[in-house]
């Protein structure tokens, strides 16, 4: 391409160190791509693989707990599995799935051709993949992390030779999460700059789709939540490996410092996890009710309010640590307050569906299921906010029930709804609706069978994170139900995978706008061309595409406009000629490769690996910096 740098003397050799990859198809194109759509697919597929891995971990846990004094797993194995289950689900499934869907659809929804920093975008993906592989390699290198997904000190921070958590597991955990945090931070910055700077003409902030809005909110949450936990993890690593005394009570250190720093991250983290799901259903419910979102501005501002208030409640994870009456009252009250904007959104979703012309597609079923299941999870959450009650519930299965209802019944249901909604756009084919219904109903049944009994088990006193229970406590029957339910979930996920794989080649052709959608991604072909929009759109209202297709008559009924509809849009054989896109690059991959090497250097305190990792990282960065942007 011609460089536009006439104002400056041409650089002596306008090429990077490696020859610029040019592949458009095939394996190389996937590993050197900077296209947000390919990156989105990579994120989602990777997240789904980790979802299956974490699911298998859960199934093993449930087999162990099927009967009292189970012998399927040892205590040590159990600890590793529940630690990795939680860590994987939060960091390698929940966050990447949102970033993946956001990657694919945020630029489309704002009428952009890509994100602000395409190569950094790809870098972020590699960090997630390598970080995940790094953490899972621990199973083969001395044992996986076993200190819980939250890693409380001083258990995890006690020095290596203290005998508390021998082996490298906790170090894989701290270092792995630090690495993943780097990736998340780069993605967050990318999304914020994209939303602020790259909206198409007419796309004011309050015309952006709610999904985009929620991604913007969580980008800020991510940006500010990752540093505190990074510091906490660094402190744990240093205590364990270099003898620092941050959490050593004998030296005057305070393990609660860790908990504060962790939960200052951890609570916003759960909103980082759920808000994208809320964004997804705010897209699907209007489409499948053929009604605009009820109270768009309120839904957006409630999302912002949740993001904001979410910073003020973290110590509700610490109610039983002896904070004192003033602190727990303040945090308890703040926790109750956050139910308000959440409830507002729920009523707005109900208001959207009410009186609509409803199509019970699989996506809609999942979205409706989200509302119901998330509400249940929210109710148990409100129960937690009552401090005396929480004192009984803490560290029991009641908490496990709560967060699985909001994260599984909430986020995962919403994500599946998003899959059924957006799969046609990504792959040009519809997912099979019959398999979809089977998927939904088995997941709904399996999910409730698994997690509903946990409320009772928790109130009956069954503790979390414990590898076995005794046989005269009366917990056996419900535990068996839970285990059966978990296998029903597994079956449902299998149905989905089959559906996704088979439909890719055999599904009905989708066309641009199979659902009669409202937002900009439905104006372009399925799958979209590399340049997204033949011409950058100009919008004049919220749900602009809908208003191009329909107007309302005097009685408020929809009237189709002849000139609207994406099939009329002048793609007209436009092959993107003349649209230039950023070129692929090797350097995000190479640079990212430096990080796990540095990670191994840290875990095994090996200076040579450190040098190697540093060299790879710096080489990648330098070569990247001198590579022309496009």
Partner 1 sequence: MSEGTVKTLEEEMSAVAHAEMGGVLKPAPGLLPGEIDSHPTPFKYVMIFLILVVVTAVEVATSYLEGDISSGLIVALLLFWALVKFVLVAMYYMHLKTDQPMFTRFFVLGAVAACVLYTIMLTTLHVF
Partner 2 sequence: MTTIEQTDAPATQVDDAPPTDPTPSHGAGGDHGGHGSSATLTNGKLAMWLFLASDCLFFGAFISAYLLYRGRPQTGPTPTELFDIPFTSATSFILLMSSLGMVLALAAIQRGDHRRFRLWLLATAIFGATFIAGQIYEFTHFAREGLHLDTNLFGSTFFVLTGFHGAHVCLGILWLVSLWGMSMQGRLGTDKAESVEIAGLYWHFVDVVWIVIFTVIYLMPQPGT
Contacts with partner 1, residue ranges (CB under 8 A): 1-2, 4-5, 7, 112-119, 196-198, 223-224, 228, 254, 256-257, 260-261, 264, 311-312, 315, 323-324, 327, 531, 535, 577-582, 628-630
For residue 607, the number of C-alpha atoms closer than 13 Å in the C-beta half-sphere is: 0
With beta carbons less than 8 A apart as the criterion, state whether 551 and 504 touch: no
Decide if 231 contacts 264 (C-beta within 8 A).
Answer: no
Between 196 and 497, name the residue whose CB sits nearer to partner 1. Answer: 196
- What phi and psi, each to the nearest 5 degrees, are found at residue 429? -135, 150
Query: Does residue 224 interact with partner 2 by CB under 8 A?
Result: yes
Contact of 536 with 200, CB cutoff 8 Å = yes
- Rounded least distance, CB 192 to partner 2, Å: 6
Alpha helices in 290-361 (DSSP H): 296-309, 325-337, 339-353
Of 431 and 534, which CB lies nearer to partner 2 in the complex structure?
534
Least distance to partner 1, CB of residue 118, Å: 6
Neighbours of 129 (CB within 10 A): 20
For helices 255-289 and 296-309, the axis angle rounded to 10 degrees is 170
Closer to partner 1 by Cβ: residue 71 or 563: 563
Is residue 116 at the binding interface for partner 2, with CB under 8 A as the rule?
yes
CA nearest neighbour of 414 among 279, 249, 526: 279
**Binding partner of residue 12 among partner 2, partner 1, none, CB cut-off 5 to 8 Å per kind:** partner 2
Residue with tokens 């950023």, as numbered in its chain: 582
315 binds, among partner 2, partner 1, none (CB under 5 to 8 A by kind): partner 1
44 vs 318, which CB is nearer to partner 1?
A: 318
Handedness of CA 448, 452, 454, 457 (dihedral sign): negative
Stated as kind and residue range, the H or E segment containing 183 is: helix 169-197
Nearest-5° Cα angle at 199, 198 to 204: 140
Pick the piece of the chain touching partner 2 (CB under 8 A) from 162-170, 228-236, 335-343, 455-463: 228-236
Q: Which does 327 bind (CB under 5 to 8 A by kind): partner 1, partner 2, none?
A: partner 1
Assess 117 for contact with partner 2 (CB under 8 A). yes
Residue 526 contacts partner 2 per CB under 8 A: no
The entry of partner 1, partner 2, none near residue 242 (CB within 5 to 8 angstroms by kind) is partner 2
Give residue 390's region: left, alpha or beta (phi > 0; psi -120 to 50): alpha
The item of partner 1, partner 2, none sharing an interface with residue 226, based on CB under 5 to 8 Å by kind, is partner 2
Query: By CB under 8 A, is residue 226 in contact with partner 2?
Result: yes
Subset of 185-204 contacting partner 2 (CB under 8 A): 185, 188-190, 192-193, 196-204
Closer to partner 2 by CB, 120 or 430: give it. Answer: 120
Q: How many residues bind partner 2 (CB under 8 A)?
A: 56
Q: Which does 474 bind (CB under 5 to 8 A by kind): partner 2, partner 1, none?
A: none
Min dist CB 442 to partner 2, Å, is 42
Contact 312, 370 (CB under 8 A): no
Give the count of alpha carbons within 13 A of 620, CB side only. 20
89 makes contact with partner 2 (CB under 8 A): no
Stretch that binds partner 2, among 34-42, 249-257, 276-284, 349-357 (CB under 8 A): 249-257
Shortest CA distance to 425 belongs to which of 97, 96, 27, 104? 104
The listed partner (partner 2, partner 1, none) that binds 201, CB under 5 to 8 Å by sort, is partner 2
Smallest gap from Cβ 583 to partner 2, in A, equals 18
* Site string (536-555) toward partner 2, x via CB under 8 A: x-xx----------------
Stretch that binds partner 2, among 58-66, 223-231, 343-351, 545-553 (CB under 8 A): 223-231
Q: How far is the CB of 275 from partner 1 (least distance, A)?
A: 18
- 3-state secondary structure at position 551: strand
Concatenating the DSSP letter of every residue in 417-456 gives: HHHHHHHHHHHSBPPPHHHHHHHHHHHHHHHHHHHHHHHH
Task: For residue 528, give the DSSP letter.
Answer: P
Please provide the distance, in angstroms rounded to a whole number, between the alpha carbons at the two ends of the chain.
8
Question: Within a 13 Å sphere around the CA of 182, how many CA atoms are in the beta-carbon half?
Answer: 21
**81 vs 195, which CB is nearer to partner 1?**
195
- Among the residue ranges 110-118, 330-338, 395-403, 430-438, the one whose residues contact partner 2 (CB under 8 A): 110-118
> How far is residue 565's CA from residue 569's CA, in Å, rounded to a whole number?
7
Q: How far is the CB of 379 from partner 1 (least distance, A)?
A: 27
Return the number of the residue (201 or 355) whose C-beta is nearest partner 1: 201
Identify the residue whose tokens are 């299965």.
397
Q: How far is the CB of 579 from partner 1 (least distance, A)?
A: 5
Residues 6+ apart with CB under 8 A from 274: 374, 406, 407, 410, 411
580 binds, among partner 2, partner 1, none (CB under 5 to 8 A by kind): partner 1
Interface with partner 2 (CB under 8 A), residue from 21, 227, 295, 610: 227
Residue 236, CA distances (Å) to 89, 147, 221, 255, 336 in order: 22, 12, 23, 10, 32
| Chain length of the chain | 630
Question: Where does this chain bind partner 2 (CB under 8 A)?
Answer: 5, 7-9, 11-12, 111-112, 116-117, 185, 188-190, 192-193, 196-205, 207, 223-224, 226-228, 230-232, 234-235, 238, 242-246, 251-254, 257, 261, 535-536, 538-539, 622, 625-626
């Amino acid at each position: 391409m011609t460089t536009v740098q006439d104002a400056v003397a041409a650089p002596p050799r306008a090429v990077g160190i490696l020859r610029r990859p040019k592949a458009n198809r095939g394996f190389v194109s996937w590993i050197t791509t900077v296209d947000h759509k390919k990156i989105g697919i990579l994120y989602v597929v990777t997240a789904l693989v980790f979802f299956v891995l974490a699911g298998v971990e859960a199934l093993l846990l449930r087999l162990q707990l099927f009967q009292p004094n189970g012998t399927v797993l040892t205590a040590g194995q159990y600890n590793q599995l529940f630690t990795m289950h939680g860590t994987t689900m939060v960091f390698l499934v929940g966050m990447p799935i949102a970033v993946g869907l956001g990657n694919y659809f945020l630029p489309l929804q704002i009428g952009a051709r890509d994100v602000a920093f395409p190569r950094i975008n790809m870098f972020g993906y590699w960090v997630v993949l390598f970080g995940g592989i790094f953490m899972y390699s621990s199973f083969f290198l001395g044992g996986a992390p076993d200190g819980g997904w939250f890693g409380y000190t001083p258990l995890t921070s006690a020095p290596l030779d203290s005998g508390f958590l021998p082996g490298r597991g906790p170090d894989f955990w701290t270092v792995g999460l630090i690495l993943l945090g780097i990736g998340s931070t780069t993605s967050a910055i990318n999304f914020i700059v994209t939303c602020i700077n790259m909206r198409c003409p007419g796309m004011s902030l309050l015309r952006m789709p709610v999904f985009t809005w929620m991604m913007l909110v969580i980008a800020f949450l991510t940006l500010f939540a990752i540093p505190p936990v990074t510091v906490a993890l660094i402190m744990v690593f240093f205590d364990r490996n270099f003898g620092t005394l941050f959490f050593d009570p004998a030296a005057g250190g305070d393990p609660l410092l860790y908990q504060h720093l962790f939960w200052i991250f951890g609570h916003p983290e759960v909103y980082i996890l759920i808000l994208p799901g809320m964004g997804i259903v705010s897209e699907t419910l209007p489409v499948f009710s053929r009604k605009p979102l009820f109270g768009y501005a309120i839904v957006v501002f409630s999302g912002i309010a949740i993001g904001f208030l979410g910073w003020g409640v973290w110590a509700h994870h610490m109610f039983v640590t002896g904070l004192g009456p003033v602190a727990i009252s303040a945090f308890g009250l703040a926790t109750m307050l956050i139910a308000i904007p959440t409830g507002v959104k729920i009523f707005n979703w109900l208001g959207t569906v009410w009186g609509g012309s409803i199509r019970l597609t699989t996506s809609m079923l999942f979205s409706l299921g989200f509302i119901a299941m998330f509400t249940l999870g929210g109710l148990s959450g409100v129960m937690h906010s009552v401090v005396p009650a929480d004192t009984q519930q803490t560290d029991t299965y009641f908490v496990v029930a709560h967060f699985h209802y909001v994260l599984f019944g909430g986020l995962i249901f919403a994500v599946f709804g998003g899959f059924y909604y957006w799969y046609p756009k990504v792959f040009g084919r519809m997912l099979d609706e019959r398999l979809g219904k089977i998927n939904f109903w088995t997941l709904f049944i399996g999910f409730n069978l698994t997690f509903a009994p946990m409320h009772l088990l928790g109130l009956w006193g069954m503790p979390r994170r414990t590898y076995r229970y005794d046989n005269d406590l009366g917990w056996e029957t419900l535990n068996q139900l839970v285990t059966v339910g978990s296998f029903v979930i597994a079956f449902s996920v299998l149905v989905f995978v089959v559906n996704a794989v088979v439909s890719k080649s055999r599904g009905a052709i989708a066309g641009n706008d199979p659902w009669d959608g409202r937002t900009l991604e439905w104006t372009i072909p399925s799958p979209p061309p590399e340049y997204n929009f033949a011409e950058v759109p100009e919008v004049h209202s919220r749900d602009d595409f809908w208003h191009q297709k329909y107007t309302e008559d005097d009685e408020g009924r929809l009237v189709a406009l002849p000139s609207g509809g994406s099939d009329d849009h002048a793609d007209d054989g436009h092959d993107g000629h003349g649209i230039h896109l950023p070129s692929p690059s090797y350097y995000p991959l190479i640079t990212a490769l430096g990080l796990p090497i540095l990670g191994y250097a840290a875990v095994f305190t090996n200076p040579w690996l450190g040098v190697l990792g540093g060299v790879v990282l710096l080489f990648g960065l330098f070569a990247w910096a001198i590579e022309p942007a496009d």
